[in-house]
Structure 1
Amino acid sequence: MKKKSPTIQDVADRAGLSKAAVSRYLNKSIRLPEETGQKIDDAVRALGYRRNSIARRLSKGGSETIGLVVPEISNTFFSEMAEAVEQTVSERGYNLILGISRNHPDKELGFLRWIDDSIVDGLLFVTNRPDNRRLQLDIRRYRAVVLLDEDIPGTTQDKVFCHNIEGARDATRYLIRTGHRRIFHVTGPSSLMSVKERLEGFRLAHQEAALPCPDTHIFHHDYTQQFGREVARKILSSPILPDAIFAASDYIAIGMLEELRRNGVRVPEDMSVIGFDDTSLAELVTPKLTTVRQDAAELGRIGADRLLDAIAHPEVRHGVTRIAASLVVRDSVRDRRLSTRDIRPPTALSPSPEPPPKNQS
């Protein structure tokens, strides 16, 4: 049978003191004579007593813990965000627990119960899926929730997003300025705020340049590498190919780079590609990815500050905060104005031929 853990009453009995005195001494809310304090310290060591920090915090009116809910942690954007959140809340005396939803509606709703159960004092919340109003209606019950990166329409909590429209417009302007005229846009679910705003920026840049922007040049699905691979195959099967592709996520862009390379399409010589987010992977792929940077760490830091403010001062609201989105130029876009040398016509691209078989001895 497992040995029962010692309690604070056991410590009090061994030290010959009241439970209240021992509790206040251990919580550093009372100063006792040195000899009395030594009795308590000796009893703690002899019994191997460990304080229940969660119970102690709850007795003070809060858990001194916040939660961060993200769709996944393998995505470096969310891991960079989580690291910044942990550092920020730690500096202010709080702990962090992480919830990974995998974009599952029931898991997201379940994490909100952490507040009801006093596991956390508040939540930083990231979702990457369209809401059927279940999440909206539930999340509106909580003041101490801050939304990061993606909106949940109909909610009034504090929110921290990047300037999606400006970032997408700058990326598209850059492609147009470097001589690209047939630009495709590959993006996420059409009902997401980030998708709508990045598409708006894409269209605005076309309008400014008096270029057509047909719906047939826009592809929606998920913010995943797999979608990037799938849509690249679809685009390559079209009779007319783009000069460039603006992907609304680095993960989509990286999936496309893989599939384009596999089919013998050279980036940027044959086709330029731009991403969005500037994750740590953007510099590791070949070619290094030109992309729009939204600072995941800054999102996390500002979001954590907003949430801790909401916990300490429920009457204060910050509304929507936007962080910068800036173009980071690397190697995946070619300036088509400089030379047409070594650029294949858009309709001439085809998979590289299979190498001839080796001679059999």
Structure 2
Amino acid sequence: MTSLKDVAAAAGVSVATVSRMLNGSLELPLETKKRIEDAIRDLNYQPNPHARRLSRGRSDTIGLVVPDIANPFFATLVAAVEAEADKLGLAVSLYATLNRPGREVAYLQLIERNHVDGLIFVTNHPDTGQLAALINSTGKVVIADEDVPDAKAPKLFCDNEHGGYLAGQHLVEHGHRRVLFIGGPETMISSRRRQLGLERAICESGGSPADISIYHGEYTIEFGRDAARRFLADKRPATAIFASSDEIAIGLIEVLRAEGVSIPDDVSLIGFDDVGPLHLFAPPLTAIRQPVRSIGERAVALLLETNWQEAPRASETLLPVEIVVRRSVAPPTRQINRNENHQRTST
């Protein structure tokens, strides 16, 4: 392939002269300019757009780091970022970390190597401090969905606490006071805030945090299964369950159904995220809906709007959530009646 050096030799000028003319940073005499243009045409030289962008100090590519593209939540987020970047003429480099800290560190270092102009960073586990330190030294990072404490960067979350409050309020309105909260890792902002919102709703109704049982684990289907088994082993300590992710809810339903526990006749259930086809479940699952697509779109905007020439500061933007009411919540009186009928049948 013809190189920039070939064009320069044919035109009788330096490689730097050809490069600067092509990127618009140098005005040349008409005769010199014509010699270069003739050489480009005669040699059929095709400029490398990636190299030209790098010569201007940018790649016109943004990076997106997510834990897992198989998870419907993250897949939806990726699609939203891709669509928004495409509108702006930007490319997206996608990196799936498998939720491993070492891979997260490697992808954050891409910015220092000028491989991307900035990074939207999504983690799904607590930070030991390593990620925050790297983000603070690197800059040009927007943190989305889950927090990296102590990182000085724009942060974009859904209103997790209000989501927990909406779930608790809905359960209270149906007569529930004893509620099981099944959350992600205890130290993560999403889990903490959803639990706080639930507690506030229960307390406002005259209850107390003691009325809430709490299981913490991972945002996975497997943890949902484990939580369901524990719920049954604990002799069903609640009349309603607030599962803080679609994945947890799916694992719960799988085990409860296999054990003959009916939703909502035996226990009511509310989920969080509402990314999967929860309306197709039997019964359709009531859930707190995250604005996943809006998170992706807004993250791109934050990356482009932030003045990275200044020292970045931690800022937090919350996007609203809503409750989508379906048929997985019923008054606990239905559970009592069902149990009484079952006892009569047994005797």
Matches of 2:35 and 2:55, distance apart in 1:
28
Label 1:282 to 1:180 Cα distance change in 2 as closer, same or farther (>3 A): same
- Corresponding residue of 1:297: 293
- Corresponding residue of 2:144: 148
Matches of 1:101 and 1:25, distance apart in 2:
41
Q: Is the 8 A contact 2:152 2:312 kept in 1?
A: no
Count of residue correspondences: 339
| Aligned with 1:123 (options 104, 119, 143) | 119
| Aligned with 2:163 (options 167, 183, 187) | 167
The DSSP-based 3-state class of the residue aligned with 2:138 is coil
* CA offsets 1:103-131 (integer angstroms, 9 cap, x no match): 21111111111011111121111111111
The DSSP-based 3-state class of the residue aligned with 1:344 is helix
Q: Does 1:331 align with 2:338?
A: no
Q: Does 1:58 align with 2:54?
A: yes
Q: Is the 8 A contact 1:65 1:121 kept in 2?
A: yes
| Aligned with 1:246 (options 242, 245, 266) | 242
Matches of 2:300 and 2:55, distance apart in 1:
24
- Corresponding residue of 1:306: 302
Matches of 1:192 and 1:303, distance apart in 2:
20
Q: Percent identity?
A: 39
- Greater percentage in helix: 2
- Deviation of residue 77 (structure 1)? 1.2
- Corresponding residue of 1:276: 272
Label 1:38 to 1:266 Cα distance change in 2 as closer, same or farther (>3 A): farther
Q: Does 1:96 align with 2:92?
A: yes
Q: Is the 8 A contact 1:66 1:120 kept in 2?
A: yes
The DSSP-based 3-state class of the residue aligned with 1:114 is coil
- Deviation of residue 282 (structure 1)? 2.3
- Deviation of residue 50 (structure 1)? 4.6
Query: When the two structures are superposed, what TM-score results if normalisation uses the length of structure 2?
Result: 0.87
Matches of 2:92 and 2:123, distance apart in 1:
18
- Deviation of residue 343 (structure 1)? 2.8
Q: Which amino acid aligns with 1:95?
A: A
Matches of 1:250 and 1:150, distance apart in 2:
16
Matches of 2:150 and 2:111, distance apart in 1:
20
The DSSP-based 3-state class of the residue aligned with 2:109 is helix
- Corresponding residue of 1:351: none
Q: Does 1:180 align with 2:176?
A: yes
Q: Which range moved further: 164-173 or 49-58?
A: 49-58
Q: Which amino acid aligns with 2:153?
A: Q
Matches of 1:120 and 1:151, distance apart in 2:
22
Matches of 1:22 and 1:346, distance apart in 2:
88
Q: Which range moved further: 164-173 or 87-96?
A: 87-96
The DSSP-based 3-state class of the residue aligned with 2:102 is helix
- Is there any run of 5+ residues in structure 1 with no aligned partner, and where? 349-361
Matches of 2:66 and 2:161, distance apart in 1:
23
- Deviation of residue 206 (structure 1)? 1.3
Q: Is the 8 A contact 2:179 2:211 kept in 1?
A: no
Q: Does 1:68 align with 2:64?
A: yes
Kindly report the root-mean-square deviation, in angstroms, between the aligned alpha carbons of the 2 structures: 2.9
| Aligned with 1:261 (options 246, 257, 264) | 257
- Is there any run of 5+ residues in structure 2 with no aligned partner, and where? none
